[in-house]
Amino acid sequence: MDNTARTINVLVIEDSEPDVYLIREALRLHVPNVAVEVVEDGEKAIRIIDEVDRDDQRPCPDILLLDLHLPRRSGEEALERFRRSPRCGQAPVLAMSSSESPKQRARAEELGASFFRKPSTLDEFLELGRIVRELVSCAPDEPGQT
């Protein structure tokens, strides 16, 4: 499959606007043909996945970026729903947090996700794009598209 030809759909659940901007910059810099869809909470994410599962024509997310510091438990509920989705349940998930603590890493592992600590320099932050590209390229293809 030609990765460059295909559109990479990225679903981002993030409520921090500055970070959303930086995530978009990083993806745009490193992932070709990327299509980013951002929601600010879990409920909205769940609605999208519902739509994806209902409508085969609706593009399916190739990766889910999830901020661990979402208010309430909406992030986790969204992840659970994402994992139950027949179309995108096998897609990689990247959990993001601004604090580097073993607790946060452990939680990400628990959710079956990779972990990204939001760094405090621009160059480091932009590395997020490269990580996403690697995760997507390693991931198995969506069953519907093979």
Partner 1 sequence: MEENNVDAPTCKPPETPVGSVDSLLRCAQWAGTPLGPRELWPQSLKTVFEILVSARQPMFAWWGEDLLQLHNDGCRAILGASYEAALGSSARAYWPARIPALEAALERVFGGEALTIPDVRLSMERNRRNEECCFDLRLTPIWDDQGRVGGALCVCDERPAQLGETRQLALAVGHVGVWDWDLRSGASVWSDEHFRALGLDPGACEPGYEAWASRIFCEDRVASEEGLRSAAADRRDYEHEYRVAWPDGALHWLYTRARFFHDAAAEPLRMIALTTDVTERKQAEERIASLNRDLKRRVTEFETLLEVAPVGIALANDPECRDITVNPAAAEMLGIPTVINASKSGPQGAELPFRVLREGREVSPEDLPMQQSATKGTVLRDLEYEVVQADGKVVNLIEYSAPLFEDGKVRGCLGVFVDITGRKAAERERMLLLERAQTARRTAELLNQAGLALASELDWEKLAQKITDIATQLTRAAYGAFFYDTIDAAGRTETLYTLSGTTRGAFEGFAIPRDTPLFHSTYAGQGIIRCGDVLADERYGKAPPHYGLPDGHLPVRSYLAAPVTLRSGETLGGLFFGHPEAGVFTEDDEALVAGLAAQAAVALDNARLFARVERGRQELRRVNDELRRANQDLEQFAYSASHDLQEPLRHISIYSELLRRKCEGRFDNEADELMKSVMDGARRMEMLVRDLLAYTQAVNVTGAMSEPVDAERVFQLALSNLREAIRENAAEVTHDPLPPVWAHEVHLVQLFQNLVGNAIKYRRDAEPPRVHARAERAGAEWIFSVRDNGIGIERQYRERIFGLFKRLHGGRKYAGTGIGLAICQKIVESYGGRIWVESEIGAGSTFFFTLPCPGERE
**Contacting partner 1 (CB under 8 A), which of 120, 138, 140, 146?**
120
Based on CB atoms, which residue is closest to partner 1, 99 or 145? 99
Interaction with partner 1 in 9-38: which residues (CB under 8 A)?
16, 18-19, 22
Q: Which two tokens stand for residue 23?
A: 């995530």
**Contacting partner 1 (CB under 8 A), which of 85, 119, 134, 142?**
119
Interaction with partner 1 in 82-101: which residues (CB under 8 A)?
98-99
Based on CB atoms, which residue is closest to partner 1, 24 or 87? 24
Q: Map 49-108 to HEC letters.
A: HHHHHHCCCCCCCCEEEEECCCCCCHHHHHHHHHHHCCCCCCCCEEEEECCCCHHHHHHH
Give the Cα separation of 67 and 12 in Å (integer): 8
Based on CB atoms, which residue is closest to partner 1, 121 or 146? 121
Give the Cα separation of 37 and 103 in Å (integer): 28
Based on CB atoms, which residue is closest to partner 1, 22 or 78? 22
Stretch that binds partner 1, among 3-11, 71-79, 118-126, 130-138 (CB under 8 A): 118-126
**What phi, psi does 47 have (nearest 5°)?**
-60, -40
Q: Which two tokens stand for residue 26?
A: 């990083």
